[in-house]
């Protein structure tokens, strides 16, 4: 229906660029295998035998506490117990969940997506976001370029050929997909800005002091960098550039960020003063820990350094002793 040659060239180039990026992102989302916890989170043979012999209760938890004492874990179950997967027989890293469809634990699991027949998690969350973004742009481009011909269809301005019915169908399909994709993409943009997964949006993670829905949020810019990486040239490409290894994550409870509230909800003023600048008991992975080191809210007084050295036991594992 286009008669202008320049318009045809521009539309064809833009169309194939968006289509190529959409297919590339979709392909990467589908065929990138979800990452599973590393071997250090799996129990040894002796520890498995101990768990089988011990009944559920304090003795069972004591075995898990000993196994997890050197692991960088800070989240617990709702009852305050260490998060353990019976099926995979491993201690769950922070933000890791067991997928009933894949039947395995997935690092930073967001959800199992039937549209890609794959789990969306740490290894492919960036690809999933780009897939939503490019599919939305693709549909919006089609709807926008088709709009003038769609109007002509209703005003009888098109030749009486079969193509005019294709134009009508194309506009309706692109417009409807644009509406649904925009809501889904907008929701995941909000999740990234808050450093949450879909599961964490429905059930907030539990830390030492209790439930905290913003426990992993470090501020908008740092949250973006966790998913897309430090090098902006890779942000729009479906190339893996997320920070970390998926097993350990910096939290606002470890380092108070200027963009976050000064203390999590539910903490008393006494607890606020003692925990405002608490360092992680176990070191974070190198590719993630630099998100904490550039914050201006760190205090390097000798008092806080003393606290750091004195508090080398994992805060997530001392909850049992306090209660």
List active site positions. Answer: 113
Give residues with Cβ within 8 angstroms of 103, minimum separation 6: 87
Distance between CA atoms of 215 and 250, rounded to whole angstroms?
Answer: 9
Q: Which residue is it, tokens 């209660």?
A: 323
Three-state secondary-structure class, residue 269: helix
Per-residue b or e along 124-139, where b marks 16 or more CB atoms closer than 10 Å to that residue's CB: bbbbbbbbbbbbbbbb
Distance between CA atoms of 186 and 195, rounded to whole angstroms?
Answer: 14
CA angle 205, 209, 213 (to 5 degrees): 30
The residue ranges of DSSP E strands in 188-278, in sequence order, are 206-207, 210-211
């Amino acid at each position: 229906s286009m008669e202008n040659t320049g318009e045809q060239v521009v539309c064809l180039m833009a169309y194939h660029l968006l289509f190529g990026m959409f297919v590339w992102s979709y392909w990467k989302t589908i065929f990138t295998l979800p990452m599973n916890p590393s071997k250090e989170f799996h129990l040894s043979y002796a520890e498995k035998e101990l768990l089988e012999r011990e009944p559920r209760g304090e003795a069972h938890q004591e075995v898990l506490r000993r196994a997890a004492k050197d692991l960088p874990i800070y989240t617990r179950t709702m009852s305050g117990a260490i998060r353990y997967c019976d099926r995979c027989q491993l201690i769950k890293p922070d933000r890791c969940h067991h997928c009933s469809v894949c039947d395995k634990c997935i690092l930073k699991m967001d959800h199992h997506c039937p549209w890609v027949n794959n789990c969306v998690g740490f290894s492919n969350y960036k690809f999933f976001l780009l897939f939503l973004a490019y599919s939305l742009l693709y549909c919006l481009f089609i709807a926008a370029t088709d709009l003038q011909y769609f109007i002509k269809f209703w005003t009888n301005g098109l030749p009486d050929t079969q193509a005019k019915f294709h134009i009508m169908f194309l506009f309706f399909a692109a417009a409807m997909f644009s509406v649904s994709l925009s809501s889904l993409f907008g929701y995941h943009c909000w999740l990234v800005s808050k450093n949450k997964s879909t599961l964490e949006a429905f059930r907030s993670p539990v830390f030492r002091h209790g439930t905290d829905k913003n426990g992993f949020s470090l501020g908008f810019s740092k949250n973006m960098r966790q998913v897309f990486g430090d090098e902006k040239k890779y942000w729009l490409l479906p190339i893996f550039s997320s920070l970390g290894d998926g097993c350990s994550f910096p939290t606002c409870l470890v380092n108070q960020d200027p963009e976050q509230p000064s203390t999590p909800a539910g903490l008393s003023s006494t607890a606020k003063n003692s925990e405002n600048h608490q360092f992680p008991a176990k070191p974070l992975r190198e590719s993630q820990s630099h998100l904490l080191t550039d914050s201006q809210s760190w205090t390097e007084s000798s008092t806080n350094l003393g606290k750091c050295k004195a508090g080398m036991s994992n805060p997530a594992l001392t909850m049992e002793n306090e209660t």
